[in-house]
Structure 1
Amino acid sequence: MASGADRPRGRRLVPGIVVGHQFQVREELGEGGMGVAYLARDLRSGKEVVVKVPQLPGTVDLDPGAYERTMKRFTQEGRLLRKLDHPNIPAVVGDGEHGSVPFIAMTYIEGKKLTCYRKVNLPRRTEFAAIGTSVARTLAACHRDKVLHRDLKPDNLMVGENGVVYVIDFGIALPLDGDASRYTRNFVGTDAYAAPERFRNREQVVQSDLYSLGCVFYFLLTARPPFIEEGGKSLEKQHLEDPPVPPSRHGSRLPSDLEGLTLGLLEKDIEDRPEIGDVLTTLEPYLPVNGAPEPNPVLQPDVTIPYRTPDKVRPPEAPAKSRTRATQPFRARQRHDFLTDTDITATIQRATTEHGRGDTAAAAQTLADLHRRAIESFGIGNPKLDPIEAALDLLGGR
């Protein structure tokens, strides 16, 4: 094990340096508990890539084993990523050491995290099914290869500009092939998206990832996780004791079987959660068929592209360009279908009245319906949506 004097301290990579004689660092993208990521250019292929280096915990000087554990976890992440050869997981394109600092170079994804996607998009059943199916199929592949992700959450899902949904950040993934070691602790992950068995400090299994998937589905339906810290009750106790509020009470209008699937995945007992095959059986009927027209309106990025026009999916590092052409022409809605400013003001007032008399669920539903109609009328990002979204925020409906 490296001594304190031997451990490399300067882990930040400086823009302009070349890592591994191949990857020229451009800028820092962000950091997490396990690593720091940088945007870089592959000097051989000319493509943009992500270079990741380990992130030392702040307690490294106090905990003699912290350095070794961090390095072992980082090495394990690279090994698992090579094992998980899947189109919805960033591929490893290189690795090595820069000085004494190990690095992994991976496919760069042009896109946004699911957290950001949901802030500006209200997924309909088709988009919900497309996102859910992509993530569920990726999890199924991980589990077949004996790997638990253990930190599935909206920030670890990337919606590419090409419409593909990617599962990222395997920094705390757990191998189930007998190679799990003391370098992978059980109590890891993100509390808002963690399964009850993690809080009981019990062994995590494939159903633990499925509980986290249920939390992600709940976020897609309601723009919030199933449990939040409020009223003095900890997230741990809520995951262990409280049934989640049905998403429809937060204004979700998606079919009841999608709500039922989400709530089923959030069952406290492992044996009560649906299998991954049941998840896909429920979602796949809502997927667009190959050759289907683009949605109206189109949400950006358009997550239906891999299902309705799979031959038009661009590489993950490709920037956004003109949207995929539909197989059927776009037809403008009739003018009488569009909202007016008067409609918006009157509907917000109605929701305010409903909320004032204590019917919060009805108020949330009124605003959610108004928000969906406004998107259909004006498109995402139009200023006419601002007062509606402000009202939703005040009500806690986003």
Structure 2
Amino acid sequence: MTREDELIAGRYRLERQVGRGAMGVVWRARDERLNRTVALKQLLPDTSPDDAAQFRSIVRAMREARVAARLKHPHAVTVYDVAEQDGTPFLVMEFLPSRPLTQLLDDGPLPAGRVAELGAQIASALAAAHEDGILHRDVTPNNVLITEDGTAKIADFGLSHATGEGTMTGGGLVVGTPAFLSPEVADGEEPGYPSDVFSLGSTLYTALEGAPPFGSDGNQIALLKRVARGEITVPRNTGPLADVLSRLLRRDPRERPTMAEAERMLAAVADGRPAILSGTKRLPAPPRRSRLPFAIAGGLAVAGVVLAGILLFDGDPPAESVASPPVAEKTTAPVEKPVCEARYEVTNRWPGGSEIRVSVRNAQATRLTGWEVSWTLPPGTRIANLWNGSLVQDGDRVRVSELDWNAVLPAGGTTTFGFIATVEGEGGDTPVAACRSS
């Protein structure tokens, strides 16, 4: 049993225990070789009685810790060394007088500006990690440390995976803290960079709302199922962070921003600027054409039944059909197949606003060029943060056309665009969107 004043790896003298969590015990220690104070995390390996399994867990922990030690960033806890004694791995880190974000939240949720500031700091460290090929896998409020001067630092890169921590489901072991997992990881898929983005969104949601987006059900299996279905609790606190969180928490990982983009959006909110992702704009700024590095293919469906309206047509009728033939010779004109189809969906709703996704489909057998979707805004509705389209508005009539990268749709091909709709009052019925080829 590890105790105070014990010498670890012939170098690190344990002084006192300063923390304990699911992955291990944290000690304040003295590096006798360099004469400096360090934090020593005694990792708890797999509790399996199988010696081979325990050995694999130790090797995995050492490997993951060495990978984490590559990262040097002002908003990431620095890993100095990895040590081992009596079969137990120890992670040697910088010692930070700090407390986890979970303790900070004991006094209640944080203001949106402060959440954005902390989020931008953590996102900057995670973006650097992703650039270096390092996944965190367990971004939670407990792994965000707040120093005495109010700076945020992220700790424990990859260690939940390394030490075998996870939740057993019918499909096997799910690694990470269930309430902060992304839907795809909760569903049994391997974590990736978008999973870290979602977990950051969940952490910031918790800081803003005071509770995780999926709740904190003691039944971990039920909680995992809710996470896998993307059943997020509609946030009560609307404001400048609502747009950013709606993007970070999208169910489809392909629709989330990169961590570097998340950092830029959060920094903008912290500075009081619009959180505009590349290729988006806010009204009444004039429309401009731009590019995104990825296509948005869906939306975050979390609030009730999806409301949709579809109207199909293929442009103006041919000139010959304007004049009606004599009644005696009147015939029924054949119904032509529509050129394109549009579907307007409310994918997330909160007091005073909603997230909208509009799908565009090429309904013809040849490629479609120059599509345009139009609809009439309900009373009291305004559009903000359009993505994946170019917008023109004339009063309450809205027209959205393609960008360069999605201007041409193959036969049967689809694309989507979306925006945030803010509503005053009831907002009226869901609009009916019409698609045409220009």
CA distance in 2, matches of 1:94, 1:199: 32
The equivalent residue for 1:93 is 80
Change (3 A) 1:71 1:114: same
User: Do 2:100 and 2:145's aligned partners in 1 also have CA atoms closer than 8 Å?
Assistant: yes
Pair 1:222-2:209 in alignment? yes
Structure 1's 174 and 13: CA in aligned 2 closer, same or farther, altered over 3 A?
Answer: closer
Correspondence for 1:300: none
The aligned residue for residue 154 of structure 2 is 167
Measured against aligned partners, the alpha-carbon deviations of 1:91-118 in whole angstroms (never above 9, x if no partner) come to: 2333433355443321011111000112
1 CA distance for matches of 2:12 and 2:55?
Answer: 26
Corresponding residue for residue 281 of structure 1: 264
Correspondent of 1:113 among 100, 123, 127: 100
**Structure having the larger proportion of residues in helix:** 1
Native 8 Å contact 2:137 2:158 kept in 1: no
Q: Secondary structure at the match of 2:159?
A: coil
Question: Contact 1:54 / 1:70 at 8 angstroms: preserved in 2?
Answer: no
TM superposition shift of 1:127:
1.1
Measured after TM superposition, the shift of residue 55 of structure 1 is: 1.3
Distance change in 2, residues 1:101/1:202 (3 Å): closer
Q: Do structure 1's residue 245 and structure 2's residue 233 form an aligned pair?
A: yes
2:56 counterpart SS class: helix
Residue matched to 1:36: 25
Larger radius of gyration: 2
**1:266 matches 2:249:** yes
* Larger relative contact order, structure 1 or 2 (CA cutoff 8 Å, min sep 6): 1
Deviation string for 1:236-276 (max 9, x for gaps)?
Answer: 222222442332x2xx2532xx1121122211111122232
Q: Which residue in 1 is equivalent to 2:144?
A: 157
Check the 8 A contact 2:38/2:94 in 1, yes or no: yes
Matched residue type, 2:142: D
1:51 pairs with 37, 40, 53, which one?
Answer: 40
Deviation at 1:130, TM superposition (A): 1.3
1:14 pairs with 2:7: no
Give the Å deviation of 1:48.
Answer: 2.3
How many Å separate the matches in 2 of 1:231 and 1:115? Answer: 17
- Between the aligned residues of both structures, percent identity stands at 29
1 CA distance for matches of 2:68 and 2:216? 33
Q: Secondary structure at the match of 1:83?
A: coil
2-side partners of 1:111 and 1:84: how far apart? 20
74, 78, 98: which one aligns with 2:65: 78
1:19: how far off? 2.2
Matched, 1:254 2:239: yes
- In the aligned structure 2, how far is the partner of 1:90 from the partner of 1:168? 5
2:14 corresponds, among 8, 12, 25, to 25
Paired residues of 1:149 and 1:174 also in contact (CA < 8 A):
no
RMSD (Å), alpha carbons: 2.8
What is the rounded CA distance, in whole Å, between the counterparts of 1:287 and 1:231 in structure 2?
Answer: 34
- The answer for unaligned runs of 5 or more in structure 2 is 163-171, 273-350, 353-438
Off by >6 Å, runs of 4+ in structure 1? none
Closer, same or farther: CA 174–53 of 1 in aligned 2, 3 Å: closer
Taking structure 1 as the reference length, the TM-score comes to 0.60
| Distance (Å, rounded) in 2 between the aligned partners of 1:122 and 1:102 | 36
Alpha-carbon distance, 1:58 to partner: 2.9
Q: Is the 8 A contact 1:172 1:189 kept in 2?
A: no
For the Cα contact (< 8 Å) 1:73–1:172, is it kept in 2? no
Equivalent residue letter for 2:239: L
- Structure 1 pair 96/245, CA: closer, same or farther in 2 (3 Å)? closer
How far, CA to CA, are the matches of 1:73 and 1:153 in structure 2?
A: 21
1:292 aligned partner: none
Tell me how far 1:166 sits from its aligned partner.
1.0
CA–CA distance in 2 between the matches of 1:203 and 1:100?
28
- Structure 1 residues 251-309: Cα deviation after superposition (integer angstroms, max 9, x where no partner): x2532xx11211222111111222324323322223359xxxxxxxxxxxxxxxxxxxx
Distance 1:199 1:104, change over 3 A: closer
Give how far 1:136 is off: 0.8
Q: Counterpart of 1:147 in 2: which secondary structure? A: coil
Q: In structure 2, how many angstroms separate the alpha carbons of the residues matched to 1:154 and 1:229?
A: 13
Secondary structure of the corresponding residue to residue 234 of structure 1: helix
Partner letter of residue 169 of structure 1? Answer: D
**Match of residue 384 from structure 1:** none
